[in-house]
Structure 1
Amino acid sequence: MKPWRFIYSGLCDPYTNMAIDEAILLNYSSGRVLPTLRIYGWNPPAFSIGYSQKAEEVLDLERCKKEGVLFVRRITGGGIIFHHLEVTYSLTCFKQEINAFGSVKDGFKIICSFLLNTYKKLGLIPHFAIDIKPPALGKSPFCFSSYEDYDIMVGGKKIGGNAQKRKRDLIFQHGSIPLELKTDIFMPYLRNKIDGLEEKVCSLTEALGREITFEELADTIKKSFKETFSIDLIEQGLIPEEEKLALKLKKEKYATDDWNLKR
């Protein structure tokens, strides 16, 4: 299996994060770069909403604007997420480069196996939701408070969330792993309040019973990815074409009301 590129982006604003992910996807699909695993964080903290969600239905837009809370629309589906104290990953590849054959659901199971191994490396006992059949959480506009078959559970609670976009054999997936969940910070900006969230979801700090740094989790994800898929990761930055495209996408797409509001 050919090597992958590894990019560590550090902390970026929400528009830059989504623009970089798409710039990688477009350059990879054009054959300019290796399949890529990227790890990044968010500064300032911000919401991302799923592609099909309407911002005005899930967020108090007036309060967000008044208090300077940013939000961005993703190219993937799923529910709204507040990105704060967390590590986010994204991966871009063709399905044969990660052996993610079969249905989309099969692909989720294969790809998310590196997350299972990440949690195991940290001493946790994770399971796919389908394997333990926890009580139904019901549908929710908030990503972390509902689950799919191959979401990951620790101690009976969902941890993190993942979303995927496919075009034929091309796969783009990204996911969020919360180091801490400070519900009092983001809950006031949601249009509909969520009851009992602490009983449904957990952060990594809660699951471990200790604090964990961004760097420790990022390094564990990287090691787990290499071992799970027997892949060599080559540390590189964005190529000039990606940097130029990311700036263009940020300015003309992700930082605009046309993209974030008028869908």
Structure 2
Amino acid sequence: MHGEYKIPGGKLVVVDLDVDAGALRHVRVAGDFFLEPDEAFLTLSHALEGAPADTDAAGLAARIDAALPEGTVMYGLTSEGVGVAVRRALAHATDWTDYDWQLVHDGPQPPALHMALDEVITAEVAAGRRPPTLRVWEWAAPAVVIGSFQSLVNEVDAEGAQRHGIEVVRRISGGGAMFIEPGNTITYSLCVPEALVSGLSFADSYAYLDDWVLGALADMGVKAWYQPLNDIATDAGKIAGAAQKRMAGPAGRPGAVLHHVTMAYDIDADKMVEVLRIGREKLSDKGTKSAKKRVDPLRRQTGLPREAVIAKMIESFRTRHGLSEGRVTEEEAARARELAQAKFSTAEWTARVP
């Protein structure tokens, strides 16, 4: 069995192993990490030899930590990362480069249709009818997008939203509210086979699927990192938030994962706190009067137009994993329009948690 894991912000760990009588055998750990002293390298493999095959990543990491020589220094490597690589080997996980990735980057769409497209495209990936897809959103109207389990009245000031002409929609994933204005936000979705995150915990899958965009930001001179559970941050503050939804596949097929991210390019902070109630609560807790101290837009950090930031992100993904131009099929578009009307535009769905 073979497993690979790119440690977020670190290096690649590769594990090859066999399983015999329920235990790990012939374990071989390798990678492009740094490790001192040299004799600690063999310890990584020896510590895992004979471990029960159902040991979780934390348990495998504990075996490694207990066996490493005193004073061992690991750079770009963690014992937990080795444990994750083992779990991915046992789960027969796939890698980014195992797929032919497709890009969908269409013109502006209404907020409810974006919600529907995420559901439809992820279902198509789960059914095996569509390759893994990176979809970059363009917004046709301002919106507040609330998480699947959030209370509508607790999150949104209805009067403020109406005054500013902002549509409120609810997405299928959890997490917090997103304040959207066309031209001020960068939003994208990854619709991926479940096998890509096999062997990862729920939290680890966030970091794993965010890692490529950290590299893209680094290419633009922005040093960013994953901040558990679902944020991307820099020294200047939070710049993005992610959310996920698991979707089952048809009978006999594994499912798919929807991982979507909203990044702050340029925020009208005063308008945001007039629309989002929870924004006021967070600010008042910190004795802060302006939301500008809580979200640092990418415009200031990159010095680039929004379109240039998106182009560089796409090119970075293409360089790392390959990416061909794609489109939403007529069948997918028709289903998404129907779903937007029947579900995501209805009061029953939007106010399902009043």
Answering whether residue 314 of structure 2 is matched by residue 222 of structure 1, we say: yes
Q: Please, which runs of 5 or more residues in structure 2 have no aligned partner?
A: 1-97, 249-254
2:189 paired residue among 90, 94, 97: 90
Matches within 5 A, 1:74-223: 74-84=171-181, 85-96=184-195, 98=196, 101-129=199-227, 148-149=228-229, 151-167=231-247, 169-192=255-278, 193=280, 194-195=282-283, 196=288, 197-208=291-302, 210=303, 212-223=304-315
Give 2:305's aligned amino acid. T
Instruction: Give the conservation status (yes or no) of the 8 Å contact 1:55–1:61.
Output: no
- 1:151-186: CA deviations, max 9, x gaps? 222124111111111246521110011210111122
Give 1:206's aligned amino acid. R
Q: Percent identity?
A: 28
- 1:172-207: CA deviations, max 9, x gaps? 110011210111122112234142333332110122
Residues in 1 aligned to 2:276 and 2:99: alpha-carbon distance in whole angstroms: 43
- Looking at both structures, which has the greater relative contact order when contacts are Cα pairs under 8 Å and sequence separation is at least 6? 1
Count of equivalent residues: 240
- After superposition, the Cα gap between the structure-2 partners of 1:167 and 1:154, relative to the gap in structure 1 and judged at 3 Å, is same
Instruction: Give the conservation status (yes or no) of the 8 Å contact 1:155–1:207.
Output: no
Residues in 2 aligned to 1:39 and 1:92: alpha-carbon distance in whole angstroms: 11
Q: How far is the alpha carbon of 1:100 from its aligned partner? A: 5.7
SS at match of 2:263: strand
Residues in 1 aligned to 2:199 and 2:277: alpha-carbon distance in whole angstroms: 39
Q: How far is the alpha carbon of 1:227 from its aligned partner? A: 3.3
- 1:42-89: CA deviations, max 9, x gaps? 221110000000111111123423553201001111111101211110
Residues in 1 aligned to 2:246 and 2:161: alpha-carbon distance in whole angstroms: 31
TM-score by length of 2: 0.64
Residues in 1 aligned to 2:139 and 2:163: alpha-carbon distance in whole angstroms: 20
Number of the residue aligned with 1:262 = 352
Residues in 1 aligned to 2:117 and 2:322: alpha-carbon distance in whole angstroms: 22
- After superposition, the Cα gap between the structure-2 partners of 1:107 and 1:16, relative to the gap in structure 1 and judged at 3 Å, is same
Give 1:173's aligned amino acid. H
Residues in 1 aligned to 2:131 and 2:171: alpha-carbon distance in whole angstroms: 23
Instruction: Give the conservation status (yes or no) of the 8 Å contact 1:86–1:180.
Output: yes
Answering whether residue 121 of structure 2 is matched by residue 41 of structure 1, we say: no
Number of the residue aligned with 2:168 = 71
Residues in 2 aligned to 1:41 and 1:177: alpha-carbon distance in whole angstroms: 13
Residues in 1 aligned to 2:247 and 2:344: alpha-carbon distance in whole angstroms: 21
